[in-house]
Amino acid sequence: MARIHPTAIVDTGARLGEGVEIGAYCVVEADVEIGAGTVLRPHAVIRRFTTMGEGNFVDSHTVLGGDPQDLKFDPRTRSFLRIGDRNVFRECVTISRATGEGKETGVGSGTYWMAYSHAGHNAVVEDNVILVNGAAVAGHAVIGRRTILSENVGVHQFTWIGESVMTQGLSGFSAHVPPFTLCGGGINRVVGLNAVGLKRAKDITEKDRQELKEAFRLTYRAALPRREALAQMDAHAEWGGPAGRFRDFVRRVHEAPPPYNRPLCALGRARGGTA
């Protein structure tokens, strides 16, 4: 049975799982589904057409499923925000539902959103992503699993950030970021592989790391045209796993149609260090 504070406003059309806790002055609108064991702290707002899985934590003044920040959006549109399990949304997080009839904004499971972080309409934030204070993901962007967006990082609309990427605070991205990389030094800059993250990942072997180093070299340090770099990566038929996913990401960027036809981030130097 759900526990609802007497000052909370919960629409009769909302569906609440077992053990949901809704704090003082919360608002839960119609057509909302909240999974078992989820906790809403005081003043949290869950807007219409939001679905949440189990075990989520929503801190004060967070707004989930708000209307898209899109001047052409019609509020009568039936669009969605879909959220998985065991996510943490700290104070003042905002995530918009999608623009476009029947479309959705997606959040996976196990993500952690620090204060004032944001994701816009039609964005996808995959499992175990961390958004540090003030990080902002624009509409239609995709953030790969286990990526960390550091403080005040901005991701432009229609931009892809691959899996297990580590970003430096105050960085910005309007070009696609390959997986397993370290980014910093300003706008659209990759400075190397995410060596610390790769060593910590239990599912990444030493062989995987060596293959990724070669994939990174062919992409960024060999001064090859993109088509030739892909051809040389394709010659490594033994590559699967991480290096294969790196190669697939580069190919996807190379072949991307508008409005996703953006370049890869360029090679740069980290602030305060070397690439």
Task: Reduce the secondary structure of the chain to three states and give it as a string.
Answer: CCEECCCCEECCCCEECCCCEECCCCEECCCCEECCCCEECCCCEECCCEEECCCCEECCCCEEEECCCCCCCCCCCCCEEEECCCCEECCCCEEECCCCCCCEEEECCCCEECCCCEECCCCEECCCCEECCCCEECCCCEECCCCEECCCCEECCCCEECCCCEECCCCEECCEECCCEEECCCECEEEEECHHHHHHCCCCCHHHHHHHHHHHHHHHHCCCCHHHHHHHHHCCCCCCHHHHHHHHHHHHHHCCCCCCCCCECEECCCCCCCC
pLDDT at 192: 97
CATH of 3-195, one of 2.40.128.110, 3.30.1700.10, 2.160.10.10, 3.40.50.300: 2.160.10.10
| pLDDT greater than 60 at residue 273 | no
pLDDT at 272: 52
pLDDT at 270: 63
Task: For CATH 1.20.1180, list the domain ranges present in the chain.
Answer: 199-256
| 54-82 confidence digits (pLDDT tens) | 999 999 999 999 999 999 999 999 999 99
Query: Per-residue confidence at 275, pLDDT binned at 50, 70, 90?
Result: very low
Top CATH class, 199-256: mainly alpha
| 85-131 confidence digits (pLDDT tens) | 999 999 999 999 999 999 999 999 999 999 999 999 999 999 999 99
Query: Per-residue confidence at 240, pLDDT binned at 50, 70, 90?
Result: confident
Task: For CATH 2.160.10.10, list the domain ranges present in the chain.
Answer: 3-195
